[in-house]
Each structure stands twice: as C-alpha cells, then as structure tokens.
Homo-oligomer: A and B are copies of this chain.
Amino acid sequence: MEKITNSDKVLLLGKSDFLVDVSKGLFHTNHGTINLSKLVGKKFGVKIKSSKGELFYVLRPNINDFLDKRLARLPQIISLKDCSLIAGYTGLSSGYRVVEAGTGSAFLTTFMANLVKPDGKIFTYELRTDFFKSAKKNIDDSSLSAFIDAKNKDVSKGFREKDVDLVVLDMIGAEKIVSKARKALKSGGFLVVYSPYIEQVKVVCAAIEMESFVDVRTIECLVRDYKITRDFSRPNTTMLAHTGYITFARKV
C-alpha cells in the first residue's frame, strides 16, 4: 500500500546515500544517473539501478534522514543526541506548543515539529535574516511546515505566545530571555537553554535562580560509538567530546 508518488521524497541507500524529490526526474550521482520517474507507482522498499549499474534501496525517509542528508547547515546545529535529550527530558510529544529562539538552521525546529505533530506547534524566532532565510528553506523542505511558525524577529523584544509547554533558547544572551520565557510558560512547563560554553551556563543559571523555577539541572551528553566484530570489540578511537551544555528548569 505504501506506493511512491511523484510528490514524494525518497531515501536512496547505496554506495552513497541521498534524499531526493521524485519529481526531480533524473538524479545525477558519482555512481551514475538514477531515473526517479521509474519509481512512481512502485512500493517503498524496492531497489533501483543507476546508469552505471549501481544498486540503491529506495526507502521512505524519516525525520532523521531529512536532518542528516537534506537540511542545509548554515549556523552550527544542536546535535541529534542533544535534541533527543531535550525532547526526552521535557516529555515533548504530540500537542506540545513550543517557543524556540534562535531558529539557527532549523535542525531542532524540525526535529521538534516532528514530535508535536499533528496537534502541536513550534513558534521559532531568528534575529539574523541570513539564518532565517536558510532556516525557512529547510522548514519548507521538511514536510513539517504546517507545525512551524517561523519568524524573523528579535525575541528579546518579547513574544506573544502564552501557556506554552516548552521554551528552548539557543542564542547569545539567552539569560536576558529567561524572565520572558517564564511568563510564556504554563505552570509545570519547561525552560531549556543550550549553552556551548560554561560561562553562558553560569549567567543563565543565575537568571533562572531569580525566577520561580524548580528542578534546575545542567547536563552534558556524551555518546560513545562501539566497533563490534566477531573477534574484536572496543569503543571507537575518537569521539565527539563536546557539543554543549543543556540546562533544564521547570516553571512553578
């Protein structure tokens, strides 16, 4: 029943992986050209051969395929491990209403939109016009734009959303938004601040301390990859050792 239409995006897994619009028709790769129009009417899961004879699996992409292979990264993104903890530790799920600042590349924006659908909404603010334009393209490309309200506005001038479940701040000067964030949150709602440096963590925690929040917690998340073979098992030799600190607080 999962048939491919001309308006679908497909994930091509082969020697290289791609996420492409079927409507593109011909898709050129280092491994040969792929005639996407032949996929229409086929089922997700089929294989397709390129002009050079290379095989590609054709899958229905999910949010992570989009984030990994399609989203243009202009400013630094919040990595998937950190997005996962932000969502998991705040109970983010369908129906949540979220304020985010700044939008950046819209990585976390689209990640969250995928979780709050079909009833929730992400209100996201970005000050810089170049970032906003890039983010907007990513959002429009994500099939999740119905759940995102993106604004090219200075969040420090305030925002109108009320009774939101979550406010996420990933911006310079986040400490100045803490009080505004509290006002926008419903009782029991969460404030999350992502800080690349310990200095920002400190000023943010000081700002949080001035307001009525409980369960204040700052963490960092380390994901260690393993190499597992029949004979030799060990952690990978190198790892991503630092992305940022995540501070959580809950409004009362």
Contacts and interface: CB of A to CB of B under 8 A. Distances in A.
Contacts of A30: none
Interface in A125-161: none
The oligomer's copy count stands at: 4
Contact of A230 (B206, B229, B230): B206
Given A83-B88, A197-B233, A221-B223, 17 more contacts: A2-B163, A11-B188, A44-B187, A45-B186, A59-B252, A61-B188, A62-B90, A64-B91, A84-B85, A88-B88, A93-B114, A199-B233, A201-B233, A218-B226, A221-B222, A238-B238, A238-B241
Counting chain B CB atoms within 10 Å of each CB, the highest count among A94, A188, A201, A219 belongs to: A188
Contacts of A241: 224, 235-239, 241
B252 A13 contact: yes
A196 B240 CA distance: 20
Interface in A166-200: 186-188, 196-199
A219 B214 contact: no
A54 interface: no
A163 B64 CA distance: 19
Contacts of A77: none
Contacts of A236: 241-242
B245 A226 contact: yes
Nearest to A11: B188
A118 interface: yes
Contacts of A111: 88
A225 B219 contact: yes
A81 B221 contact: yes
Given A57-B252, A59-B187, A199 B232 contact: yes
